[in-house]
Structure 1
Amino acid sequence: MTQHTAIPMVDLRAHFAPLREEILAGMGKILDQAGFILGDQGRALEAEVADLSGVAYGVGCASGTDALMLALRALDIGPGDEVIVPTFTFIATAEAVLHVGATPVFVDVDARFYTMEVTAIEAAITSRTKAIIPVHLYGLPADMPAIMALAHQHGLRVVEDCAQAIGAGIGGQRVGGFGDLGCFSFFPSKNLGGAGDGGMVVTADAALARKLHGLRNHGSWQTYHHDVLGYNSRLDEVQAMILRTEFPHLATYNAGRRQAAAWYVQHLGDLDLQLPESPPGYHHVFHQFTLRLHARDIVKAALHAEGIASAIYYPIPGHRQKMFAPQSPACCPVAEGLAERVLSLPMFPELREEQIARIAAVIRRTLHG
């Protein structure tokens, strides 16, 4: 292997280094106050993320997966109900549906943008359908105007999976504010990531926000009174403080990702591969930079030999996962093709152009010999 400094998928050491002293000081204050759960930091973060999303309420919880489960519970979705989800995304989207006792119905994705195909959603609606969960995949918003119009036409609820897309939007509207509820993940590698798991649900609906407050806290709205079966799913004060320390820099982080994406396009644009696309008026925040190419496995091996990370998001679509009673590949041909050809390259705000040039050179050499 050529002796070069390794390039990781995400560089969390570089990300947190400028914030280290501020975070340590914040941890000291929390230790001095000895308030660790459902405190001022969490409430402030809830307000900040809700405001970013253009809605009134945020409810912090333990993870992005929990955010999805809590959102579905708040909408009273359960056994006998169907929820339409994209097959090409991380397992948590459909897993949350199964956890509340409902049935995930997988649909294919758009061949250019990789988000839910609206005509496929419409074809999947039955008398049992109660909700749609669009995923803003890789940082690109799904076609929310069309999805919301379809949902209103059929009387369906919409839960946005914003785990990869905080700060993304369409026109002047940010993700999380289109549907009935928006769900965020604060997993460390996310565009706004903590030092552990964390999540949040945002909504414009006061009644849904109140339900979420109880559901995340053992089904309790009054101490030692438990009205429904709930969860222990609360965002702790240390994580909230770390996220609040990062939050003022989120626009800068996303701008760094967009700059890195522009450099990738500059260095790879003439090669025989499919680069990420965005519809006009869409604000992509590039949680991932994902190529589509025929020689995926060969390119991945060549990058690895040069100490450059890459990843396949996602090698097995949801409709073929064992936990969901697998369906025929014929149901989702676009997702099947993507699973065989997509490759995500390193993407983080601190990525430098010389690193991207090196990545591109390996890809160019591999494709052209």
Structure 2
Amino acid sequence: MIKFLDLHKLNKPFETQFLAKTKSFLDNGWYVLGEEVKQFEQSFATFSNSKHCIGVGNGLDALVLILKANIHLGNLQKGDEVLVPANTYIASVLSILQADLIPVFVEPTIETYNIDPNLIEEKITSKTKAILVVHLYGQLAEMDKINAICESNNLLIIEDAAQAHGLTFNGNHTRAFSFYPGKNLGALGDGGAITTNDDVLAEVLFSLRNYGSSSKYKNDFIGVNSRLDELQAAFLNIKLPHLNTENETRKKIAKRYLSEINNNKIDLPICNNFNNHVFHLFVIRTENRDKLQEYLNSYGIQTVIHYPIPPHKQKALQEFNHLSLPITEKIHQEVLSLPMSSVLTDEEITHVIITLNSY
């Protein structure tokens, strides 16, 4: 079986270093917000070309804390509207709701799956104060157009980069990352981070993640407990130097898929610039997705659906169930994610391609 993502194989090369770090962690006796977190925050800030990195518990917390920090600073107010792609993982929407803000869904383009800049302005009202841009599947959204729209409408831009580690970003914005094990830069458990060039915002975020505390037992805000785990930071410190190389391998695999898959029943994703994609996922579309998935499975190829139900149709978000978002709904009915990771062999990639072409 060709696994969709073989985490054991992916992490195996680092096993000796992981074990050594774990022993060092145990011997050190400092288990929360220690030197490993500080080192990772410094390294990831440099890697991301940002002044600050704030390590947090997970990607969802990263988004929520960015929004809450902007409320604390007066850049947003509870009840403000935040534009968000309709085609995204539910965490993007949950973060807006958990910050007591109102999500307004914007359809994607069918070609890239990312938010359609041409549909943004029609969604802007007097209550719209921000946009949460998602770089879905690892592809940069059309930030030149989005930046121009937001500048002319005085909208705050926040970027959900949970699937976009190593992407070269466009614009001086605050970004949220997830280090869930399956990400391009994955921990061995949950983890997340925020990057920003805003000194004041960073100061608030460092406080909010740690009970709203600026120093021990001094609490300036109603904060939360969402700190990047010291041991996970240690593992991330080991893996970060290899991220660019692994992303380049993903791009090579994507180029093979794009150039060699040839089946008129299958729609391939559009990528006009490989510098703007890190291929966290390689997502195809087909009208009878379940049939194709069963077919691939019968040939030993594991696939995953990202995502079967759009956020606005989830039971948890019943207040949005009435919305009709046909492009998003079509995407969620047709998408299928092919195996994609830096440990796939040439033989495995060839098998996937031949099998798809024979469908």
TM-score tier by shorter-chain length is: over 0.9
- Give the counterpart letter for 1:99 in structure 2: Q
Aligned length: 354
What is the CA–CA distance in structure 2 between the aligned matches of 1:323 and 1:96, rounded to whole Å? Answer: 13
1:69 aligns to what? 64
Cα deviation digits, residues 239-270 of structure 1 (max 9, x gap): 00100100010011101111111222233135
- Do the aligned partners of residues 327 and 124 (structure 1) sit closer, same or farther apart at CA in structure 2, a change above 3 Å counting? farther
1:106 and 1:318 in contact (8 A); partners too: no
Amino acid at match of 2:276: H
Q: Which letter does structure 2 place at the counterpart of 1:13?
A: H
Give the match for residue 122 of structure 2: 123
CA-CA distance at 1:281 after TM superposition:
6.8
Question: For the Cα contact (< 8 Å) 1:269–1:275, is it kept in 2?
Answer: no
Which amino acid letter does the alignment assign opposite residue 44 of structure 1? Q
**Structure 1 residue 234 corresponds to structure 2 residue 233:** no
Report the alpha carbon displacement of residue 52 of structure 1 after superposing the two structures with TM: 2.0
Instruction: Find the counterpart in structure 2 of residue 17 from structure 1.
Output: 12
1:326 corresponding residue in structure 2: 320
The answer to whether the 8 Å contact 1:159/1:179 transfers is no
Could you tell me which residue of structure 2 aligns to residue 223 of structure 1? 216
Q: Which residue of 2 aligns with 1:276?
A: 269
| Whole-angstrom distance in 2 between the partners of 1:16 and 1:280 | 29
SS in 1 for 2:175: strand
User: Partners of 1:322 and 1:272 in 2: how far apart?
Assistant: 32
Aligned pair partner of 2:330 in 332, 337, 340: 337
Structure 1 residue 362 displacement after superposition = 2.6
Contact residue 115 and residue 137 of structure 1 kept, 8 A: yes
State the superposition RMSD in angstroms.
1.5
Q: Does 1:354 align with 2:353?
A: no
Q: Secondary structure at the match of 1:133?
A: strand
Q: Does 1:37 align with 2:36?
A: no
Partner residue, 2:206 = 213
Aligned match of 1:171: none
**In the TM superposition, what is the alpha-carbon distance from 1:16 to its structure 2 partner?**
1.0
**Residue 290 of structure 1 pairs with residue 283 of structure 2:** yes
Structure 1 residue aligned with 2:292, among 299, 304, 313?
299
Query: Percent sequence identity over matched residues?
Result: 38
Mapped to 1, the partners of 2:335 and 2:243 lie a distance apart of: 27
Q: Distance in 1 between matches of 2:301 and 2:272?
A: 30
Which amino acid letter does the alignment assign opposite residue 326 of structure 1?
A: F
Work out whether residues 88 and 136 of structure 2, in 8 Å CA contact, stay in contact via their aligned partners in 1. yes
Given the two structures, how large is their TM-score scaled by the length of structure 2? Answer: 0.95
Pick from 244, 248, 264: which aligns with 2:237?
244
Specify the alignment match of 1:154 in structure 2: 153
Q: 1:87 to 1:201 in 2, by over 3 A?
A: same
Question: Where has structure 1 moved over 6 Å in runs of 4 or more?
Answer: none
Unaligned segments of structure 2, at least 5 residues:
none
Map of 1:308 onto structure 2 = 301
TM-score for the superposition, normalised by structure 1: 0.92
Deviation for aligned residue 1:43:
1.3
Residue type of the partner of 2:162?
A: A
Q: CA deviation at 1:10?
A: 0.7
Deviations 1:27-46 (A, max 9, x none): 11111111111111111111
Contact 1:288 1:347 in 2 (8 A): yes
Deviation (angstroms), 1:78: 4.9
Kindly provide the CA deviation profile for residues 179-210 of structure 1, in whole angstroms up to 9, marking residues without a partner as x.
53100000000000000000000000000000
What is the rounded CA distance, in whole Å, between the counterparts of 2:189 and 2:199 in structure 1? 29
Q: Secondary structure at the match of 2:45?
A: helix
